[in-house]
Amino acid sequence: MTNLTVHTQPAPPASKPAIEPPLWLLAELTYRCPLHCVFCYNPVNYADHARELSTEQWLDVLREARALGAAQLGFSGGEPLLRDDLEVLVREARQLGFYTNLITSGIGLTDVRLDALKAAGLDHIQLSFQDSTQQLNDFLSSTRTFDLKKRVAASIKGHGFPMVLNCVLHRFNLPHVGRIIEMALDMGAEYLELANTQYYGWARANRAQLMPTAEQLREAEAVVARYRKEIGGRCTIYFVVPDYFETRPKRCMNGWGSVFLGIAPDGAALPCHTARSLPGLEFPNVTEVSLREIWYESDAFNRFRGVGWMKEPCRSCEERDRDLGGCRCQAFLLTGDPANADPVCDKSQAHERVIQVVKAAEARAVSNERPVLFRNDANSRKIARDHSQVRAVGTGIAIADAGPGSPGGCA
């Protein structure tokens, strides 16, 4: 195992701040998906977790989470529309007082289902596109869905839903940012989320192909700034620079066990979307443990809460309360130890690894050294098989740069 930590200071006095209730529940209803996106954040071995909670079990999750204090609810996946009980869950969520958001590829979102979801009380829809061009949209998802998505966007607006258009950005489509914004404006989206790829899950497996250059990012940022000025409040555009181009880490999930509670399709409770890749953590299942106990008592949710778990350089850093050491998943993927500082931080001894990845992207005119790895069941099963030995010793399955469970690539 790579251990880059230097212990130079005694641990700070153990302070135990009160644990606030969760605010945001993400219900990942299924890992099944009609798309095969190369940047999907789902676990690369999702095929190992094919079991899904029943309708009754999901209803219990919603009730328990609301009783705990959660107020925002995202229905996600995979593709949540593949569950034919989605409307039942939305209706219950509405009655419980959640603000509900459907996070969807749009595949399967027919007028009939839109009517039913409207009647059930759905508040909001987030629709993903892979690009503003049919060619790239369809390549990145390995489907022919671009025209269908455009029709679905029109239907969503026709049904009076507020709509976020989401597009994940990377070196293939960053030069299209202006056209993506135009597309969102044409579709009447109230929000456009230009989500620069974060390198977890399938995106980590395809990092060499997806990593942009600094110049691409600068140009895209300038385009976004120009549009923001021109369009005023017509559409709110979110654009966040990818971590690898920063020198301080993000306060990931607003802090581990702080506001976010994710439930995977099989009922595993997760403190972040990709926590499943972390080694040495047992994620409690909602079919066996109450949500209250999971949130307040479980090791999985307490392990990285607050600042008491930190090693150097985070432990003595004056910025530790602001960024909370950054992202645990990124620390694991880049150093092999989730308790290390997020290497995005230039105080981390592993920061050079981030610099090298960015430099490699700069040196590459076209990322064609190896084919992209599409998210599909066959690839997922192959990855799970290839890592069965890793699984047998209880470590996480991830495409990591260092440490246990680090196969170093899977294309």
Chain contacts with ligand FES (rule: CB under 6 A) = 200, 252-253, 272, 274-275, 327-329
Q: 286-308: string of b/e by CB count within 10 Å (b at 16+)?
A: beeeebeebbeebebbbbbbbbe
Q: 191 has which bridge partners?
A: 164, 236
Beta strands 236-240 and 191-196 are parallel
Q: Considering the complex, state which of residue 68 and residue 339 has its C-beta at the smaller distance from ligand FES.
A: 339
- Min CB(271)–ligand FES separation in Å: 7
Does the annotation place 40 within a ligand binding site?
Answer: yes
Q: How far apart are CA 386 and CA 389, in angstroms?
A: 8
In the block, tokens 């390549």 appear at 139
Smallest separation (angstroms) from ligand FES to the CB of 119: 35
Of 66, 195, 174, 61, which is closest to residue 126 (Cα–Cα)? 195
Tell me, what DSSP letter sits at residue 241? -
How far apart are CB 157 and ligand FES at their closest, in Å? 32
Min separation Cβ 386 and ligand FES, Å: 23
Give 103: exposed, middle or buried? Use CB within 10 Å, 0-12, 13-18, 19+.
buried
CB of 278 to ligand FES, least distance (A): 7
Closest to ligand FES by CB, 204 or 387: 204
- The residues pairing with 166 across neighbouring beta strands, listed in sequence order, are 128, 193
Comparing CB distances to ligand FES, the nearer of 107 and 327 is: 327
Environment class of residue 376 by beta-carbon count within 10 Å: exposed (0-12), middle (13-18) or buried (19+)? middle
How far is Cα 262 from Cα 90, in angstroms, rounded to an integer? 17
The H or E element that residue 63 is part of is: helix 55-68
| Cβ closest to ligand FES, residue 4 vs residue 237 | 4
Q: Work out how close the CB of 340 gets to ligand FES at its nearest, in angstroms, rounded to a whole number.
A: 12
Burial of 232 (0-12, 13-18, 19+ CB in 10 A): exposed
Q: Which is nearer to ligand FES, 93 or 211 (CB)?
A: 211
Nearer Cβ to ligand FES (126/274): 274
317 is in an annotated binding site: no
Collapsing DSSP to helix, strand or coil, 165 comes out as strand
Beta carbon of residue 179, minimum distance to ligand FES (angstroms, whole number): 29
- Was 33 annotated as part of a binding site? yes
DSSP type of residue 270? E
- By DSSP bridging, strand 269-270 and strand 163-169 are unpaired
- Which position has the token pair 């593949």? 82
CB nearer ligand FES, residue 93 or residue 329: 329
DSSP string, 242-264: -GGG-SS---GGGSTTTSEEEE-
284, burial (CB in 10 Å: exposed 0-12, middle 13-18, buried 19+): buried
Please identify, using beta-carbon distances, which residue of 311 and 328 lies nearer to ligand FES. 328
Nearer to ligand FES, 129 or 304 (CB): 304
- Residue list for the binding site for [4Fe-4S] cluster: 33, 37, 40
- Residue list for the binding site: 33, 37, 40
